[in-house]
Structure 1
Amino acid sequence: MASSGSSSPRFRRPAPLFDSVAEAIPGEPDPSTSTDLAHDSAQALLHGVFHSSDPEVVERVLRLAAQDGLSDLAALWSSSPASTLPGALWRLYVLHTWVQHSGDDVVRRYRAGSRTVPGLRYLSGFSEPPDVMHVQRTMDDILRGAFVGDLGLALTRAGAVATILAHGTAQLADSDRDPDRTLQAERLLSTGEELAMAGRHAEAGRLD
């Protein structure tokens, strides 16, 4: 799982979640303004959901990963460092999307990894033993928490999930003699470390 988006990003205005988000994503941005656009759009999305009293707004954010809107966010967020809000949210969305689309594979990796790093199981919030539906619901809860709960805790929990999956992927790579899984394990571990770092920055008020 990579934490970067397409090498040829497309910028187009999606059906906006909020007017402020739409205003932060122009049709053809100057590359020199991409960093500002990434930060502005991430802040607009986060604050728009947090200050909304409409539960449907939250559900639309949860569904964003399955809609075209994510490709627009990828174009803005995917190259942002993990220590920034857009970079952290991008990594969280990528992890969430993968778990939703590959539930059976995720559960297998999680079960293998949870035996290696049992202390992270409680932080991740997955059931023991996990099943596909619970794993997917838990990732929904983590993503929801990033927008309407405690951002730092949500990122920390996502980091724990990615780290457990990294350890499980490494074990499966050894048993299956699969070099591709070894590379996946390295990427997952990096993502886990980056999300955990972003969680610490959020708790310290330094994630922007």
Structure 2
Amino acid sequence: MPRDFHRPTQFPSAAFEAFQGGEDPATVNRIAHESAAALVARVKHDPSPEILDRLVSFSDEHGIDVVAELWARAAPHTLPGALWRIYLVRAVIRQAPDEVTYLFDRGVETSTTIDPIVAGAPTPATPAEVLALADLILRGVFDGDFAVALERGAAFCRLASAGATTVADEQDTIGSDLASTLTRRALRLSELGVDLTACAALWRAGSLD
């Protein structure tokens, strides 16, 4: 039996929008690119479990806003843009694991692609399994094949987006005001999937910087 659908959590606007500020854009962009490149190179050189654990849990301890300030204003198809989006996917899952798992499972039910296999979550998934997947994907960015980790994140986003669209259609038939909220959620997740897929292709081509 599918789980009952709950009213979507209202994520803070920072979760889907870059921060605005008075800093020089060129300086912000340079810092974003340099910090992203240095971080990835540092971890690849010394992928100790302690460092990886700290990177995965960084936004839990310091807040997703800190990650956003560093990388959210970078262009989508760049290394800092990719890192921001992977951290964002994990943050969205952790803020509402029950809801996101429900949307993911609904997306899997309607999928005709290999996305469920690429994402790597059990089907049907439990919230605990989806939370573990979010950590695994983020960890894979630093301790695995970078492109594969991005592709797994993209597949998850596409499935959750498809699920949100399905539930939005159902809510629309009964005149629920949740339909528009879910439609926006589906669009944002879809956009995340597109960007992560593009970044994965660029990484494989050696041109994601």
TM-score higher than 0.5 here? yes
- Cα root mean square deviation, aligned: 1.7
Shift of 1:31: 3.4
Shift of 1:194: 0.8
Aligned to 1:22: none
Aligned to 1:133: 128
**Which one-letter code corresponds to 1:7 in the other structure?**
Q
Residue 102 (str. 1) matches residue 115 (str. 2): no
Aligned to 1:186: 187
Work out whether residues 150 and 196 of structure 2, in 8 Å CA contact, stay in contact via their aligned partners in 1. yes
Work out whether residues 172 and 181 of structure 1, in 8 Å CA contact, stay in contact via their aligned partners in 2. yes
Work out whether residues 68 and 84 of structure 2, in 8 Å CA contact, stay in contact via their aligned partners in 1. yes
Alignment of 1:40-189 (within 5 A): 40-68=34-62, 70-118=64-112, 119-177=114-172, 178-189=179-190
Structure 2: distance between partners of 1:41 and 1:4: 20
Secondary structure of the corresponding residue to residue 110 of structure 2: coil
Shift of 1:156: 0.6
Work out whether residues 156 and 200 of structure 1, in 8 Å CA contact, stay in contact via their aligned partners in 2. no
Structure 2: distance between partners of 1:101 and 1:152: 25
Structure 2: distance between partners of 1:120 and 1:54: 30
Shift of 1:151: 0.4
**Which one-letter code corresponds to 1:99 in the other structure?**
I
TM-score, scaled to structure 1: 0.85
Length, aligned pairs only:
189
Percent same amino acid among aligned pairs? 32
Structure 1: distance between partners of 2:67 and 2:41: 16
Shift of 1:35: 1.0
Secondary structure of the corresponding residue to residue 7 of structure 1: coil
Structure 2: distance between partners of 1:132 and 1:190: 23
Aligned to 1:25: none
**Which one-letter code corresponds to 1:110 in the other structure?**
F
Shift of 1:70: 4.1
Aligned to 1:18: none
Aligned to 1:21: none
Q: Deviations over 1:54-83 (max 9, x none)?
A: 311100000112122643331131121221
Shift of 1:53: 4.5
**Which one-letter code corresponds to 2:204 in the other structure?**
E
Secondary structure of the corresponding residue to residue 106 of structure 1: helix
Q: Deviations over 1:69-106 (max 9, x none)?
A: 64333113112122100001101100011112211001
Post-superposition, which runs of at least 4 consecutive aligned residues in structure 1 deviate over 6 A?
Answer: none
Change (3 A) 1:121 1:53: closer
**Which one-letter code corresponds to 1:138 in the other structure?**
L
